[in-house]
């Protein structure tokens, strides 16, 4: 039965035409499943049998049933026949639930190698005619070619689909990267990940959740596709909660639950919206420098298998999300610090404007950076016009004066200096205080003319 050599066959003209029509039928499509079922159907009809089966060779498991006709699916589902001395008896009694004592089987041969078996069964026991075996062998030759062509086409189509899927995923990651580069807050980062992740994965819902600093709670930053009432109830929940998101945050492990049964078995009593009434779920930790800062999760309406590409895409998205969230955290902290500094500057300016003495400050290049109202009057210039200008260029009469010398000394020695001398711009006697710093020099001027004359 398993020989790879075919003897020459001779058929009646009618049989030959019938075989030719069957060949045209099975080679007229590249649908792998349709080719298999057509071969089984036509083999049954050609030998006037009651059932047929196609068994293909699996290098690891022997023969497995690839298609059958008039044999209950539950009889052959998952059936595998090991190669060896018992292969023929196993082929003859393929289905124990129905009596098919009549059997004709021939090998499927492709390029000199046996790749499977084509078997036809009868409900009555009879000795196969030589013509039956030859006819079935001729059909098997054509069937092997048709099955191989269909399998190659299916493999090419699958490779094409995988390539297109990979290209789409790369484009999605590029789009996510571009969007995240413009997301400056954690809320916007989470929105990008949830929206684009749902679209790229075909998910029904998604979320981003973060650990609340200095607490044992998780806070959902953004969630889409879940019931609003449940999301509000579970906006913040303990890390110890029995929930996929909490488990990922606690363990740092990736979690893929591919069916509702698997999900229910692992979380039978969960009340969170992230594990309830979904067909499949994926949850991944968000890591920065080895520290878990939160998790992302996506839910699917139906069961699904998370293949290698899905898992790689999710891992890349989790990494992007974590990096963007950390960048947003730093940006938000910088914004808070800047607002605090600006507020402090405003309060300082209010104080400096309220004092009756003159005050101004210059940078290390001697450019005015601040001038209060009284200093503008004393210097004899509009303070708004002085900002950014050089004190020596705006008031050249100061150069060479006592103020000039003391200011140069204070900056050079980085030491505070106090002295009394006539103001170079007004001639009035002023008490001058100089306070150098890394940013420049602060100057405080107090008129003492009246005090001296008194």
Could you give the domains of the chain? 13-156 (3.30.450.40), 182-333 (3.30.450.40), 355-453 (3.30.450.20)
Instruction: Give the tokens for residue 95.
Output: 């289905």
Q: Is pLDDT above 80 for 340? A: no
Indicate the burial class of 119 (C-beta count within 10 angstroms; 0-12, 13-18, 19 or more): buried
pLDDT in tens, 62-71: 888 889 999 8
Tell me what pLDDT residue 354 has: 66
The answer on pLDDT for 319 being more than 90 is yes
> Residue 385: is its pLDDT beyond 70?
yes
Nearest to residue 47, comparing CAs of 6, 7, 15?
Answer: 15
Cα separation of 438 and 210, whole Å? 40
Per-residue pLDDT averaged across 344-352, rounded?
Answer: 69
Rounded to whole angstroms, how far apart are CA atoms 138 and 407?
110
User: Are the C-beta atoms of residues 177 and 320 closer than 8 Å to each other?
Assistant: yes
For residue 171, the model assigns a pLDDT of: 83
Among the residue ranges 53-57, 339-343, 400-404, 414-418, the one predicted with the least confidence is: 339-343
Q: State both tokens at 28.
A: 């007229």
Please give the helix or strand (H or E) that residue 124 lies within, else none: none
pLDDT higher than threshold 90 for residue 305:
yes
pLDDT tier for residue 273 given thresholds of 50, 70 and 90? low
> In this predicted structure, what is the pLDDT of residue 216?
92
**Predicted pLDDT at 388:** 92
Taking residues 213-231, what's their average pLDDT? 90
pLDDT at position 230: 83
Bridge-based pairing of strands 102-110 and 113-122 is: antiparallel
Q: What is the pLDDT, as a whole number, of residue 111?
A: 87
Comparing CA positions, the residue from 144, 128, 106, 116 lying closest to residue 49 is: 128
Beta bridge partners of 51: 121
pLDDT, tens only, 159-189: 888 878 778 878 888 888 888 888 888 899 9
| Residues 29-37, mean pLDDT to the nearest whole number | 91
Average pLDDT over every residue of 107-132: 84
CB atoms within 10 A of CB 17: 11
pLDDT computed for residue 118 by the predictor: 92
Helices (H) and strands (E) counted in the chain, each on its own, are 15, 16
Do 201 and 193 meet the contact criterion of CB atoms below 8 Å apart?
no
Q: What is the mean pLDDT of residues 193-218?
A: 92
Picking from 188, 166, 169, 171, the residue whose alpha carbon sits closest to that of residue 321 is 188
- Mean predicted confidence (pLDDT) in 8-36: 80
Model confidence at 221: pLDDT above 60 = yes
CB 23 within 8 A of CB 142: yes
pTM for this model (two decimals): 0.56
Q: Determine the distance from the C-alpha atom of residue 62 to the mean position of all C-alpha atoms in its chain, rounded to a whole number.
A: 39
Let me know how long the chain is: 454
Residue 283's pLDDT band, with cuts at 50, 70 and 90, is very high
Q: How high does pLDDT run on average in the chain?
A: 85
Q: What are phi and psi of 87, to 5 degrees?
A: -65, -40
Percentage of residues of the chain with pLDDT beyond 70: 91
Task: Report whether 287 contacts 278 (CB < 8 A).
Answer: no
So what's the pLDDT on residue 361? 92
Whole-angstrom CA distances from 107 to 3, 5, 46, 146 are 7, 10, 17, 15
Nearest to 209, CA basis, from 225, 199, 221: 221
The predicted pLDDT at position 5 comes to 42
Bridge-based pairing state of the strands 113-122 and 51-58: antiparallel
Asked whether the predicted pLDDT for residue 277 surpasses 80, the reply is no
**Tokens standing for residue 338:** 């800047």
Q: Which residue has the tokens 């009889």?
A: 75
Mean pLDDT is lowest, of 82-96, 98-112, 244-258, for 82-96
Report whether pLDDT(313) > 50.
Answer: yes
- List the 102-110 sheet strands across, edge first: 80-81, 62-69, 51-58, 113-122, 102-110
């Amino acid at each position: 039965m398993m020989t790879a050599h075919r003897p020459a066959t001779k058929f009646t003209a009618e049989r030959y035409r019938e075989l030719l029509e069957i060949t045209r039928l099975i080679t007229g499509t590249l649908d792998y499943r349709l080719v298999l079922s057509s071969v089984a159907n036509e083999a049954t009809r050609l030998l006037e049998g009651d059932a047929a089966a196609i068994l293909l060779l699996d290098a690891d498991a022997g023969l497995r049933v690839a298609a059958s006709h008039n044999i209950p699916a539950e009889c052959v589902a998952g059936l595998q026949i090991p190669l060896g001395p018992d292969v023929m008896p196993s082929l003859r009694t393929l289905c124990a639930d129905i009596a098919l004592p009549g059997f004709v089987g021939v090998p499927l041969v492709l390029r000199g190698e046996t790749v499977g078996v084509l078997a036809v069964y009868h409900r009555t026991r009879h000795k196969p005619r030589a013509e039956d075996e030859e006819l079935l062998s001729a059909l098997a030759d054509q069937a092997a070619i048709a099955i191989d062509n269909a399998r190659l086409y299916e493999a090419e189509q699958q490779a094409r689909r995988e390539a297109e899927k990979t290209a789409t995923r790369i484009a999605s990651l590029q789009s996510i990267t571009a969007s995240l580069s413009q997301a400056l807050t954690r809320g916007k980062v989470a929105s990008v990940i949830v929206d684009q992740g749902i679209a790229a994965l075909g998910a029904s819902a998604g979320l981003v959740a973060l650990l609340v600093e200095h607490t044992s709670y998780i806070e959902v930053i953004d969630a889409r596709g879940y019931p609003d009432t449940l999301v509000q109830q579970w906006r913040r929940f303990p890390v110890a909660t029995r929930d996929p998101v909490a488990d990922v945050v606690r363990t740092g492990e990736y979690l893929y639950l591919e069916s509702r049964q698997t999900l229910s078995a692992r979380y039978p009593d969960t009340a969170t919206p992230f594990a309830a009434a979904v067909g499949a779920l994926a949850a991944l930790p968000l890591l920065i420098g080895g520290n878990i800062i939160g998790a992302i999760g996506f839910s699917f309406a139906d069961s699904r298998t998370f293949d290698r590409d899905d898992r790689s895409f999710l891992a890349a998205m989790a990494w992007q999300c974590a990096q963007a969230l950390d960048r947003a955290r730093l940006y938000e902290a910088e914004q808070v610090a800047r607002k605090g500094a600006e507020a402090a500057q405003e309060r300082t300016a209010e104080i400096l404007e309220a004092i009756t003495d003159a005050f101004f400050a210059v940078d290390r290049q001697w450019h005015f950076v601040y001038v209060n109202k009284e200093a503008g009057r004393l210097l004899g210039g509009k303070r708004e016009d002085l900002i950014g200008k050089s004190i020596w260029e705006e008031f050249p009469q100061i150069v060479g004066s006592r103020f000039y010398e003391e200011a140069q000394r204070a900056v050079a020695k980085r030491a505070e200096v106090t002295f009394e001398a006539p103001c170079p711009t007004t001639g009035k006697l002023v008490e001058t205080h100089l306070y150098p710093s890394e940013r420049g020099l602060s100057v405080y001027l107090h008129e003492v003319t009246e005090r001296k004359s008194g």
